Each structure stands twice: as structure tokens, then as C-alpha cells.
Amino acid sequence: MRLALDEARLAARGGDVPVGAVVLAPDGTTVLAAGHNEREATGDPTAHAEVLAIRRAAAALGEWRLSDCTLVVTLEPCTMCAGALVQSRVDRVVYGARDDKAGAAGSLWDVVRDRRLNHRPEVIEGVLAEDCARLLTDFFRAR
């Protein structure tokens, strides 16, 4: 999560909402890819930290299936990112701060564990939650 927090700080420096993500290889320690929000930087509405990290991890592996991989992200994924996690077959999602306004991994919605879908990653929430939430709070207070 600390690597994801470092990525989130990069997003804030670029004027983006400070969310960072990393994808870990099946061994659970090797970082395949990282990303941070780049919507403002690129003008791309899909440039969320999770989507960018997933794309980069798939490129690193040479395939779209991220079986046995873990995505670690500072903020609970939104519906778009939750859908990308399901579609990429990530096995585990670890997130820091809950997102009661747009979260789709247990708070507002639970897309990633919807029984109607063919893949349901494990969800671990609340890792360094206070640090992750503080980064977001500080960013929005400064605006």
C-alpha cells in the first residue's frame, strides 16, 4: 500500500485526485505495474489509477488475464474500475479508504463480488485507510 500511496502523491502533484495503484504478480511481492490518476494530465476520463495499472500489468505479462495477481489501491474502486478488475480476472483487490459516494467494492455497490458475474475477486479493505483518506482530504481541502 505504501507504493500505491507514493503513486497517489504523484497524481496530486499533477493536479489529479490522489489515487494510486499497484498490481502485484502471483508471488505477492513483485510489482508488475503501477499507476496513478491521470485524468487531468491526459484528458482521458478512463485514466484512473486502477485502469492504468491493469493495462500496464497486462502488457508486462503479455496477456489480458491477470490471474493470481493482486491490485492494491488507495481508494475503493469505482464502478468502471471494479468492472475492469472483474474483466481482467484479478484474484484479489486490496484497498485503503472507503468511498461511500462512488465505491463499488462493498460500500455503495459491490460489483466485484456480484454473484451474477463469472469472476469475483477477494476484497481486503481498510489497509492504511487513515493514511489513504488523509491524502484525499488534504487534497480537496487545498482546492
Q: Which amino acid, one-letter code, is at 109? A: W
The reply to whether 50 belongs to the active site is yes
Query: Which of the residues 7, 50, 122, 125 is marked catalytic?
Result: 50
Reading the block at residue 140, the C-alpha cell is 480537496
Q: 96, 1 in Cβ contact below 8 A? A: yes
**b/e per residue, 69-82, with b = 16+ CB within 10 A?**
bbbbbbbbbbebbb
> Does 48 carry a binding-site annotation?
yes
> Contact 98/68 with Cβ under 8 angstroms?
no
Backbone dihedral region for residue 82 (phi beyond 0: left; psi -120 to 50: alpha; all else: beta)? alpha
By the 10 Å C-beta count (0-12 exposed, 13-18 middle, 19+ buried), 143 is classed as exposed
Q: Residues annotated as binding site?
A: 48, 78, 81
Q: Residues annotated as binding site for Zn(2+)?
A: 48, 78, 81
Residue positions annotated with a catalytic role: 50
